Amino acid sequence: MAKLNDRQQAAVEHVGGPLLVLAGAGSGKTRVITEKIGHLIEHAGLDPQHIVAMTFTNKAAREMRERVGKRLPRDVVTRMRISTFHRLGLDLLREEHHHLGLRPNVSILDTEDTSALIRDLGVSEPDRIKLALRWISDQKQALQSPDDVAAAAESEADATLARLYGQYEAHLAAYNAVDFDDLIVKPTRLLQDNETVRLRWQQRIRYLLVDEYQDTNPVQYSMMRALVGIRARFTVVGDDDQSIYRFRGARPENLADLKTDYPELEVVKLEQNYRSTSRILRSANSVIERNTRLYEKTLWSALGEGTKLRVINVPDDTAEAERVITMMSTHRIRSGDRWSDYAILYRSNHQARVIEQALRAQNIAYRMTGGRSFFDRAEVKDLVAYLRLLANPDDDRAFLRIINVPRRELGPATLQRLGNYAQERHCALLQAAQEASSLGMISGRQGAELARFCNWHERLSRTAAHMRPDHILAEMISELAYRDWIAATTPDKPRADRKFKLIDDLMDWTRRLAEDERSLEDVVNHFSLVDMLDKQDSGDEADEVQLATLHASKGLEFRNVFIVGMVDGILPHENTDDVDEERRLFYVGITRAQTTLTLMVPRQIKRGGELVDVPSSRFLEELPETDVDWPDDVADAAEQQAQKARQIEALRARFGAKQGSGTG
């Protein structure tokens, strides 16, 4: 293993106080975190159980744990906590639930659940539901309660939103549920307000490491400060130049707050890049230096100059996609690279459609980062909802999801009666259904179906207390005849087989979790967190071209990168009021490339079904002239023809060689 450079070594060995590691793109930050954990245990005398490393996604946490597992013995790693902010928040919330007025079997509501709740509270239009949830999230991240918001209301509109927020929180309490923000907000408020709880957790966490610190929001920073206390023994690793998630609440200003809140803060800059050639890095530096930056840093590389960046003009976005495929195919034949060595990056998801069409037309395999989640599939959502209702009988969203799955012919009128009764009794829908059934309030076939469901749930709830979660799931699927229902309601066998495969995958996943002695509640909450933090990934080993938005590309690297849509209105985006963040997004795209980078500039793009003229992105003017090729239209057209000729010639040579290589 290569020796750490001087700056990396300094970051590893500093343990006496607060430390900020400014880790430029490709500068080896993951290795620094891994080595620092080893140093804390082997040289600073810290017990592994008192070290916590936090990041933002389950995937990042898994990768960090794998890297640490290669550095330290397995029994040491299992005593550490390497997790997301939200996982730590959930653990704290579950242990300290009695301080928060919650019962142990708390549910986590996903976006679909919270959207349905807002709809139940009288907001019907999808756009208004999204706006309401975004507004509530903003209040929570600012640690503002409904009472705080109501007290500050300056208009009737403000007061209306405050009432909606209050009703939303009251319903969450009734469900014994939390939303995604609450996994950070509630523990942070508790740590701030309850000294006993705060000191208990500070004693457990003697050293804190935070990766991707520039992505923290205000409440995550508040949580971190509460956990480290006055000892302030922490290392945060981040890069303000790669802060691209303000729309999610990320606040790069947290870097500035560190200097204010911790005057003794040490800063170590990692500027040597181990990923890209010098031309790529000079281009990245030239772009990002236009921004106002808290810390100046200049990436450099010892990997050589490399080839120049190319800026390619094309007539429109259709021609752009076709040209990218031609250039990529030709380069692959000449270089011997795999399809997986190529990435096509774009600012917005809608740009991918024409690229997908061009790839499919050439039978080129591809995959998209950030695809549809495993937990977005109806079959998975159904079965997880059943598990949720077993774990938490007060989970009304889960009840409504599964009461007619499989079909029980309980119509809207019956469910409305149950809802009204539950509201009058101030109880959950399941309890209302049990009482309505026993009192004979709903008669006929619907009454019989409701009674059958309630009796089944009550019986399974009793036996579930003594069963492994995977055995509960298997028994549930069998008793519901869920597979038979899928077969009967799916129009063709291939589609049904795909649904059966999803069910099998869920059962396998539940079995693996159960082998770690996880309870039903643990399994349900694990699934909820995975769903909200990560999207289902296809295998990294597949030889496929990678398609990704610039946001989704962060943390990835590829030998050859194409960035499409380099026009004003797309990058920077026409709806942005923060050009600095758009420039950081471009910087992230540039620094994904290891050896070649091509920027595509369509003269026209489709808007409303019509082609419209668009100017080139202003960011192109910020690239260094000496490191970029700008072929003119004539030369570009000639090069395209030459590329096609080379492609044909290379194919002839390849197939000719194969035909002549037989043994006879």
Taking a C-beta distance cutoff of 8 angstroms, is the pair 292, 240 a contact? no
Q: Say if residue 14's pLDDT is above 70.
A: yes
What's the rounded Cα separation, in Å, for the pair 177 and 106? 5
Taking a C-beta distance cutoff of 8 angstroms, is the pair 298, 585 a contact? no
Q: What's the pLDDT score for residue 643? A: 59
How many other C-beta atoms are found inside a 10 Å radius of the C-beta of residue 77?
Answer: 18
Residue-by-residue DSSP string for 376-397 = GSHHHHHHHHHHHHHH-TT-HH
Q: What's the pLDDT score for residue 635? A: 47
Helix (H, G, I), strand (E, B) or coil at 74: helix
Number of H helices, E strands in the chain: 28, 18
Q: What's the pLDDT score for residue 606? A: 81
H or E segment at 607? strand 593-607
Report, as an integer, the average pLDDT of 143-148.
92
How many other C-beta atoms are found inside a 10 Å radius of the C-beta of residue 626?
Answer: 8
Which residue out of 7, 8, 29, 235 is catalytically annotated?
29
Of 92, 113, 93, 112, nearest to 103 (Cα)? 93
H or E segment at 316? strand 309-316
Q: What pTM, to 2 d.p., does this model score?
A: 0.77
Residue-by-residue DSSP string for 513-527 = HHHTT--HHHHHHHH
Report, as an integer, the average pLDDT of 547-557.
90
- Exposed, middle or buried, 74 (CB in 10 Å: 0-12/13-18/19+)? exposed
Report, as an integer, the average pLDDT of 73-86.
89
Q: In Å, how far from its chain's centre is CA 638?
A: 43
Question: In 40-109, where do the E strands start and end?
Answer: 51-55, 81-84, 107-108
Q: Tell me which of 641 and 86 has the higher pLDDT.
A: 86
Report, as an integer, the average pLDDT of 594-616.
89
Q: How far is CA 75 from CA 45, 82, 87, in A?
A: 16, 14, 21
Taking a C-beta distance cutoff of 8 angstroms, is the pair 17, 266 a contact? yes
Any catalytic annotation for residue 425? no
Least confidently predicted of 13-22, 94-103, 518-527? 518-527
What's the rounded Cα separation, in Å, for the pair 628 and 590? 13
Q: What's the pLDDT score for residue 370? A: 59
What's the rounded Cα separation, in Å, for the pair 418 and 359? 52
Q: How large a percentage of the chain has pLDDT more than 90?
A: 47
Q: What is the pLDDT of residues 612-647, one digit of tens each?
A: 899 999 999 999 999 999 875 444 555 556 656 666
Helix (H, G, I), strand (E, B) or coil at 84: strand
Q: Which two tokens stand for residue 494?
A: 């291939």
Q: What is the pLDDT of residues 381-400, one digit of tens each?
A: 899 999 999 988 888 888 88
Q: What's the pLDDT score for residue 347? A: 93
Q: Model confidence at 539, in pLDDT bands (50, 70, 90)? A: very low
Q: Say if residue 304's pLDDT is above 60.
A: yes
Q: Say if residue 571's pLDDT is above 80.
A: yes
Angle of helix 317-335 versus helix 352-361 axis, rounded to 10 = 50
Which residue out of 211, 317, 341, 382 is catalytically annotated?
211
Q: What's the pLDDT score for residue 621? A: 94
Any catalytic annotation for residue 242? yes
Q: Say if residue 344's pLDDT is above 90.
A: yes
Least confidently predicted of 18-22, 360-364, 544-548? 360-364
Q: What's the pLDDT score for residue 377? A: 80
3-state secondary structure 217-242: CHHHHHHHHHHHHHHCCEEEEECHHH
Q: What is the pLDDT of residues 156-211, one digit of tens each?
A: 988 999 999 999 998 888 888 899 999 999 999 999 999 999 999 999 999 999 99
Report, as an integer, the average pLDDT of 343-352.
91
Q: What is the pLDDT of residues 360-377, one digit of tens each?
A: 878 888 888 755 567 778
Angle of helix 469-480 versus helix 444-464 axis, rounded to 10 = 160
Show the CA angle centred on residue 412, arms to residues 411 and 413, nearest 5°.
90
Kindly state the DSSP code that residue 443 receives in the 8-state scheme: -
- Exposed, middle or buried, 574 (CB in 10 Å: 0-12/13-18/19+)? exposed
Calculate the dihedral angle through the C-alpha atoms of 436, 440, 443, 447, rounding to the nearest 10 degrees. 50
Q: What's the pLDDT score for residue 201? A: 95
Backbone dihedral angles phi then psi of residue 247, each to the nearest 5 degrees: -65, -20
Which residue out of 308, 518, 592, 603 is catalytically annotated?
592
Which residue out of 7, 8, 30, 546 is catalytically annotated?
30
Q: What's the pLDDT score for residue 662? A: 44
Any catalytic annotation for residue 84? no
Show the CA angle centred on residue 638, arms to residues 634 and 641, nearest 5°.
145
Q: How far is CA 107 from CA 110, 176, 319, in A?
A: 10, 7, 49
Show the CA angle centred on residue 571, arms to residues 569 and 575, nearest 5°.
50
Q: What's the pLDDT score for residue 357? A: 84
Q: Say if residue 658's pLDDT is above 50.
A: no
Taking a C-beta distance cutoff of 8 angstroms, is the pair 211, 53 a contact? yes
Q: Tell me which of 224 and 658 has the higher pLDDT.
A: 224
Q: Say if residue 37's pLDDT is above 90.
A: yes
Strand partners, 569: 573
Q: Which two tokens stand for residue 527?
A: 């699934």
Report, as an integer, the average pLDDT of 434-444.
80
Any catalytic annotation for residue 212? yes
Q: Model confidence at 602, in pLDDT bands (50, 70, 90)? A: very high
What's the rounded Cα separation, in Å, for the pair 118 and 107? 17
Q: Say if residue 605's pLDDT is above 50.
A: yes
Q: What's the pLDDT score for residue 531? A: 63
Taking a C-beta distance cutoff of 8 angstroms, is the pair 53, 81 a contact? yes
Residue-by-residue DSSP string for 9-24 = HHHHH--SS-EEEEE-
Q: What is the pLDDT of residues 284-303, one digit of tens each?
A: 999 999 998 888 899 999 99
Q: What's the pLDDT score for residue 661? A: 44
Q: Model confidence at 255, in pLDDT bands (50, 70, 90)? A: confident
Q: Which two tokens stand for residue 652?
A: 């002839």
- Could you give the residue ranges of the DSSP H alpha helices within 111-263? 111-120, 126-141, 146-152, 156-175, 182-193, 195-204, 218-228, 254-261
Strand partners, 612: 605
Q: What's the pLDDT score for residue 129? A: 93
Backbone dihedral angles phi then psi of residue 543, each to the nearest 5 degrees: -90, 80
Least confidently predicted of 93-102, 471-480, 496-505, 640-649? 640-649
Any catalytic annotation for residue 647? no
Backbone dihedral angles phi then psi of residue 653, each to the nearest 5 degrees: -65, -40
Any catalytic annotation for residue 356? no
Which residue out of 34, 55, 141, 242 is catalytically annotated?
242
What's the rounded Cα separation, in Å, for the pair 406 and 399? 13
Backbone dihedral angles phi then psi of residue 264, each to the nearest 5 degrees: -85, 10
**Which residue's entry shows tokens 């492994």?**
468
Q: Which two tokens stand for residue 646?
A: 């080379």
Taking a C-beta distance cutoff of 8 angstroms, is the pair 26, 275 a contact? yes
Q: What is the pLDDT of residues 223-240, one digit of tens each?
A: 999 999 988 999 999 998
Report, as an integer, the average pLDDT of 505-512.
87
Of 656, 373, 360, nearest to 537 (Cα)? 373
Which residue out of 110, 181, 212, 317 is catalytically annotated?
212
What's the rounded Cα separation, in Å, for the pair 580 and 583? 5
* R_g (Cα) of the chain, nearest Å: 28
